[in-house]
Structure 1
Amino acid sequence: MAIYGLWVINKAGGLVYQRNFAEGLAQLTSNEYLVLAGTLHGIHAITARLSPSGPSSGATVIEAETFKMHILLTATGTKFVLLTSLAELAADSILQKVYEAYGDAVMKNPFHTPEMPIRTEGFDARVGSLIGSGHV
């Protein structure tokens, strides 16, 4: 079981936070991460509209051959994406704790501008303690 990375995507589809925690995923450039976040934002919006049984908040898990993407959509439209191994069982609870850390360390920071990149050391430290140290 492993957690490979965390992304925070703002409501416009921009990547505002990205951190890797374990080896296993391809090494990407900053621009490639931005493109992937925007693409995931679009896919998520499409899956919300495709629901055959009424209103939906969109995809919550996307599973590939070797990893999963767990997606938490907040009430404000911010998406938290956790990239994990297929066997990871605690992804939902970890995402909820990351969201709580975001609320406490980022949104309560008077110097943070909403929808802009997250550069709050307190958030980074809390995420690191929740998920583990690793690559920044």
Structure 2
Amino acid sequence: MAIFGLWVINKAGGLVYQRKFADGLAQLSSNDYLVLAGTLHGIHAITSRLSPVGSSSGAQVFESESFKMNIFLTATGTKFVLITSPAEMSCDQALVRVYDIYSDTVMKNPFHTPEMPIRTEAFDTKISALFGPSG
């Protein structure tokens, strides 16, 4: 499984967690990641309104020649974005597992303020166990 990175975007569109796992994508600055997260948040909001029948939670996968972005939207509006190789079939289970780790380590941490950057060591440790160390 070629996992390039993981992003967590809060309900306002701010990037609260970003982790790189493997080489393969362009090297970006911190500001570039913030801009991309905000742009993705806006695109996701627009795509949730494009459904011709009923309601939609928005785009779930963006594909390109060199990567794929899988998006998992929670009930609270937090988005988990897993960036993988294009050959990766489905990342739904991995994203659900990331959400479980987030719920158990970040949301239960009395020192974490919702919507703020994630600085919980237990979260980093469990994500490393799931996907491997940072690249």
TM range, smaller chain? over 0.9
Q: When the two structures are aligned, how many residues end up with a matched partner? A: 135
1:83-125 CA-to-partner distances (Å, cap 9, x unmatched) read: 0001223511111000000000000000000000000000011
Tell me which residue corresponds to 2:3: 3
3-state SS of 1:115 partner: coil
Alignment of 1:54-133 (within 5 A): 54-133=54-133
Query: What TM-score results when the alignment is normalised by the length of structure 2?
Result: 0.98
Please list every run of 5 or more consecutive structure 2 residues that lacks an aligned counterpart in the other structure: none
In structure 2, what is the Cα distance between the partners aligned to 1:88 and 1:129? Answer: 19
3-state SS of 2:48 partner: helix
Which amino acid in 2 is paired with 1:79? K
1:10-57 CA-to-partner distances (Å, cap 9, x unmatched) read: 000000000000000110000000000000000000000111112000
Which amino acid in 2 is paired with 1:88? E
- Identity among equivalent pairs (%): 73
In structure 2, what is the Cα distance between the partners aligned to 1:97 and 1:107? Answer: 14
Tell me which residue corresponds to 1:50: 50
Displacement of 1:134 after TM fit? 2.3
Which amino acid in 2 is paired with 1:25? L
Please list every run of 5 or more consecutive structure 1 residues that lacks an aligned counterpart in the other structure: none
When the two chains are superposed, the root-mean-square deviation of aligned CA atoms in Å is 0.8
